[in-house]
């Protein structure tokens, strides 16, 4: 895992780069968030390919538990990926609502994630 650091308006943003599956459980999400938090980053960019598909099945409650922790610590998160592949209406609604609040964003590109953080 490599952390690319970006800075926008004195805000530190961690872009997580990895060829491995980083989030395989709720605990993995919490550990990653804690690691980023203690390194002084305010915002995180994570790629969909680094998150197990179960995260995107809202019935598992994995997404809710992980994203709640990010919210509690006030760490903004952008997940970059192609979300059109998921057919669940509840997930589409969840993504729509998340993107409205701007605390957790599901976007298609790194550029969009950085733009949303500016």
pLDDT per residue as tens digits for the range 16-39 = 999 999 999 999 999 999 999 999
pLDDT reported for residue 118? 87
* Global pTM value: 0.95
Tell how far CA 12 is from the center of its chain. 15
C-alpha dihedral sign at 76, 17, 49, 82: positive
pLDDT tens-digit map of 41-90: 999 999 999 999 999 999 999 999 999 999 998 999 999 999 999 999 99
Q: Which residues contact 67 (CB under 8 A, 6 or more apart)?
A: 77, 98, 104
pLDDT reported for residue 106? 97
pLDDT reported for residue 68? 92
Helical (H) or strand (E) element with 67: helix 62-72
């Amino acid at each position: 895992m490599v952390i690319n650091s970006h800075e926008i308006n004195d805000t530190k943003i961690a872009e997580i780069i990895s060829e491995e599956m980083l989030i395989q459980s709720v605990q993995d999400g919490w550990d990653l968030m804690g690691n980023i938090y203690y390194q002084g980053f305010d915002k995180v960019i994570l790629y969909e390919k680094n998150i197990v598909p179960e995260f995107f099945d809202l019935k598992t409650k994995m997404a809710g538990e992980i994203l709640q922790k990010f919210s509690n610590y006030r760490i903004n998160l952008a997940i970059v990926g192609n979300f059109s592949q998921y057919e669940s209406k509840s997930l589409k609604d969840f993504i729509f609502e998340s993107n409205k609040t701007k605390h957790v964003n599901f976007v298609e590109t790194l550029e969009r994630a950085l733009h949303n953080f500016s």
